[in-house]
Amino acid sequence: MESPIALEELLKSRGTYRDAIGLPPKVYSDPDFFVFEREAVFASEWLCVGREEQVQEVGDYFSATPAGEPIIVVRNSESEIRAMSSVCPHRGMCVTADLDGIDDENMLEPTKFLSGNVRYFRCPYHWWVFNLEGQLTGAPEMKETDCFKAEDTSLENIALEIWNGFIFVNFDINADPLGPSLGKLEKAVRNYDLSSLKTVDPAVIPDVPFNWKIMIENFMEMYHNSRLHKGIHDWAPSAGAPGTPSSYSDFEEGDGAMFGFNPSLEMDGGFNPTYKALFPPLPNLTDEERQRVVFAFVPPTLLIGMQSDSAFWFTVNPTSPETHELSMAYLFPEEVLETPLFDELLEAAIRGVGYFNRQDIPTNIATHLGLSSRFANRAHYSWQEAVIPQFNSWLVNRYEKQMEGK
């Protein structure tokens, strides 16, 4: 597949912060490049779509549209979590499309999708019925259609893997498993016991107005922490703490994650108006772990932040070159949810994150505008943002493969 940007230009962004330069600015806004990138990056990588605790009981399901593909994640009758396409094999209607609550005012709006608990999925259009495994079990008035075979008809199966409670899907059913590529991250975050934590206060912002890669870069790089967030980030400076500088993991071919450690000046800091953790520290953390923030990225979609008392996660799902859907939620041990005043303390934590967002989000919007300018430049990076050329390298490897048809 042809890229609208020459490989030679893209290759200048592969490397480390010592040598690589920024991606060609067109990768952040060009519509043709967006189409190319969706194939190169999203068609065969593991995309995080949610958490295990969203589908606890048999029949629990949720809808998602990773890279624009309507899919269903369901706990089937064997109590296994599975993913399948929501696209009815009959005429292309989405079986989980939400037709309730439609009125004259909103009937032209983009499709919304259902989540909940069901015994089967019934396409609202012609009432074809699929079981929780996606197999067609009923199709009215099809008996006279001699060539039609119900037993060969199903919702398309999609590869699914769970890592530490996070549900990933892959449109390439033969993709290599995700888990083995996350060994380094697994080791670094073991004591957070992420699989046991519970998602709290999930929220989705459907049309965040800047390119998805700008969100990733902003979340992962620590360079701006002591500058854009001067004051509110002082408890965890960009450079780290005396004797323990900030650092990023070594990133090598085959690694499925990038992550960085931002040490704090004292133990049990927090992103909230008190700069202190509001909840008890996670039970298995070492003193060193309680004195740092970890930022992790499982490309292309999952961002995780880990601090002494909790974690938070984002998924970044591109919807156009200029927009993405952002979902965000907190993770806490189940017993902490029972603590007195949990809701009030959570409110303070959310306000703290809101403070950051009010600096980061307008910065990202303005950066998107700047990167669309005729004067946009391709600059070198600081060691404090070493993760960006790592991400660029990961991307360029995939862009290159796509161009070479591999």
In the complex, which residues of this chain contact Fe ion (CB under 5 A)? Answer: 360
Q: How far is the CB of 349 from Fe ion (least distance, A)?
A: 16
Phi, psi angle pair for 116, to nearest 5° = 160, -145
Strand partners, 306: 294, 311
H or E element in which residue 115 lies: none
Q: How far is the CB of 225 from Fe ion (least distance, A)?
A: 6
Q: How far is the CB of 47 from Fe ion (least distance, A)?
A: 24
Bridge pairing between strands 240-241 and 244-245: antiparallel
Maximum CA extent, the chain? 78
Strand partners, 51: 166
Taking the least distance from each CB to Fe ion, the nearer of 52 and 360 is 360
Taking the least distance from each CB to Fe ion, the nearer of 190 and 227 is 227
10 Å Cβ neighbour count for 327? 19
Closest CA to 23 of 406, 388, 401, 405: 388
First-to-last alpha carbon distance for the chain, in angstroms, is 10
Q: How far is the CB of 303 from Fe ion (least distance, A)?
A: 12
Q: How far apart are CA 362 and CA 333, in angstroms?
A: 32
Phi, psi angle pair for 215, to nearest 5° = -65, -45
Q: How far is the CB of 347 from Fe ion (least distance, A)?
A: 21
Bridge pairing between strands 166-170 and 198-208: unpaired
CA-based angle 294:297:302, to the nearest 5? 120
* Amino acid occupying residue 369: L
Taking the least distance from each CB to Fe ion, the nearer of 238 and 308 is 238
Could you tell me which residues come within 8 angstroms of residue 101 by beta carbon, excluding any fewer than 6 positions away? none
Q: How far apart are CA 150 and CA 152, in angstroms?
A: 5
Phi, psi angle pair for 198, to nearest 5° = -115, 140
Q: How far is the CB of 154 from Fe ion (least distance, A)?
A: 44
Taking the least distance from each CB to Fe ion, the nearer of 128 and 295 is 295
Measured at CB, which residue is nearest to Fe ion? 360
Q: Do 102 and 118 meet the contact criterion of CB atoms below 8 Å apart? A: no
Taking the least distance from each CB to Fe ion, the nearer of 98 and 360 is 360
Half-sphere exposure of 331 (CA within 13 A, CB side): 25
Q: How far is the CB of 325 from Fe ion (least distance, A)?
A: 20
Q: How far is the CB of 179 from Fe ion (least distance, A)?
A: 30
183 is written with which tokens? 């060994």
Q: How far is the CB of 360 from Fe ion (least distance, A)?
A: 4
Taking the least distance from each CB to Fe ion, the nearer of 42 and 271 is 271
